[in-house]
Amino acid sequence: MAKRGKIIAVAGKGGTGKTVIAALLLKFLAEASGAQVLAIDADPATSLPSALGVKITKTIGDVREEIASPSQVFFSQEMPTDMLLEYKIEEILVKTPRFSVLAMGHSEGPGCYCLINDMLRHFIDKLSARFSTIVIDCEAGLEHLSRRTTRDVDTLLVVTDPTKRGIETASSIKRLAEKLQINVRRIFLIVNKVREEEQVKSALPGLIAQSGLELVGTVPEDEMIGAFDLVGTPILELPDDSKAVVAVKGIFEAVFEH
């Protein structure tokens, strides 16, 4: 059996900045292991590619629509399913000198995401032998885990903002992963967008203790991120001395270099 690459999933409530954390972690992982890192945007909003400065032209959702369309029926019948999906992976995988990117996108068809999630699981299984590390930017909230799109995870990083609601959601993600018996080797909490106010700092330790999650680091609120987002500059272009970059580098070193 081919050796499987390490899978890192970044999850959290919407608006916590998990995509920024995922992008910066990818930066350090790529620097450490060369171009053997794959980023998967599993959120239908597809915001990770722009944070990485990558243009996505086709997603897994697009592949799903193509396979389901009448014009593809004969082509699909003539080619074994496994071979067809291998062909489609190469068609939608975006490769850069530093890393590769795959986006889930969304389904144009009505209702259920079952097929597109099955395809994402298949793609992860196929690609895990080709990359040393896969970073998955999960869908906001609990949907990604409840659909069990991510089944085998080496490291689950749960991102929250410094609010009671955010930390309660982070705790719910941990409980759901345990309830669904998803194979997660280790789970850590990251508190993002931490402000300097003493009221925030004094309340955090108690909320974190109640979450049942191991805190691996905090990331201060970084005005540069808002400025970059305003004009569409990729997050990967943040300077090395930006507050978020410095903090995420410390998390990377604590989690992946020891």
User: Domain limits of the chain?
Assistant: 6-256
CATH code given to domain 6-256: 3.40.50.300
Residue 3 is predicted with a pLDDT of: 66
pLDDT tens for the chain, 258 residues long, are 456 788 899 998 888 999 999 999 999 999 988 768 999 998 888 899 999 999 998 888 888 777 766 555 545 556 666 677 777 788 889 999 989 999 988 755 554 556 666 777 777 777 778 898 999 998 876 555 555 555 678 999 999 999 999 999 999 988 888 887 778 889 999 999 998 775 566 788 888 998 899 999 999 999 999 999 999 999 999 999 999 999 999 999 999 876
Residue 54 is predicted with a pLDDT of: 95
For the whole prediction, is pTM greater than 0.75?
Answer: yes
Residue 90 is predicted with a pLDDT of: 83
d(Cα 32, Cα 26) in Å, to the nearest integer? 10
